Amino acid sequence: MIQRKLFCFGILFLFFTITQSLRADVKLPDPLKNGGTGIFTLLEQRASGTRNAFPTGKISDTELATILWAATGLNRSGKGWTVPMGQGKKPYVKIYAVRPDGAYYYDWNTHTLKTITDKNIMKEINNDGFVQSSPVVLIFVSDPSEMGAMARFNEGNAVASILTGAMTQDIYLAADSLGISARYMVSLNEDKIKNAFGLKEGEVPLCIMPLGKR
């Protein structure tokens, strides 16, 4: 009898644990794909959020979904990408999103934030107060395992850095259209990020981008 109760308790515990971790993933809403500020206006006004007055307004899931899609989303009815991907490959730079409620890997395929931790790791990624107070910080990580033959051109993370430049510029423009400030930054705590996300050999955090609604 006791064994049976223990068994039932075990099953319940397992069920609870699994549903808790599933619930933590965030299926993002569809990104906005039309409207917004005109491209030439955006180019004329593009600027980084300033270090001494970086905005801290919250970013909605639709806004984050739109920014992530602009950086690494499929377009042309699923035949191409919003950024030029070498040899038309799948994204070989991964994007992680860190918020006070946890840290996530952005899965472009399912358009989902996959929960890595529900701990607040804002203070671990960079030492700047304005970054730690941002509602969202994106982290760009090279992923040589998706580069195929292009990996041989990736010395010094060259291939990954070219893609990161395109992704972050798309983010500057899409974010500005939503009234959101962004800042491209190379100062980051590499070891802490590698640890927090369990990065594999060859996966390197290249830059971060705090975001904040004005």
Ligand X SMILES: Cc1cc2nc3c(=O)[nH]c(=O)nc-3n(C[C@H](O)[C@H](O)[C@H](O)COP(=O)(O)O)c2cc1C
What residue ranges bind ligand X (CB under 6 A)?
A: 47-48, 51, 183-187
User: In the complex, what is the shortest distance from the CB of residue 186 to ligand X, in angstroms, rounded to a whole number?
Assistant: 4
In the bound complex, what is the minimum distance in angstroms from residue 74's beta carbon to ligand X?
27
Residue number, 70 or 209, with CB nearest to ligand X: 209
Query: How many CB atoms lie under 10 A from the CB of residue 73?
Result: 20
Query: Smallest distance, Å, CB 109 to ligand X?
Result: 29
State which residue, 145 or 187, has the beta carbon closest to ligand X. Answer: 187
> At its nearest, how many Å lie between ligand X and the CB of residue 41?
16
Length of the chain: 214
Helix, strand, coil in percent for the chain, rounding step 5: 45, 20, 35
119, two tokens = 């701990």
Between 133 and 187, CB nearer to ligand X: 187
Output 75 or 187, the one with its CB closest to ligand X: 187
**What CA–CA distance (Å, rounded) separates 87 from 156?**
19
* Cβ at position 199, least distance to ligand X in Å: 20
The C-alpha angle with vertex 87 and arms to 86 and 91, in degrees rounded to 5, equals 55
Cross-sheet strand order for the sheet of 205-213: 26-27, 112-117, 102-107, 93-99, 136-142, 205-213, 180-182
Q: Which is nearer to ligand X, 66 or 164 (CB)?
A: 164
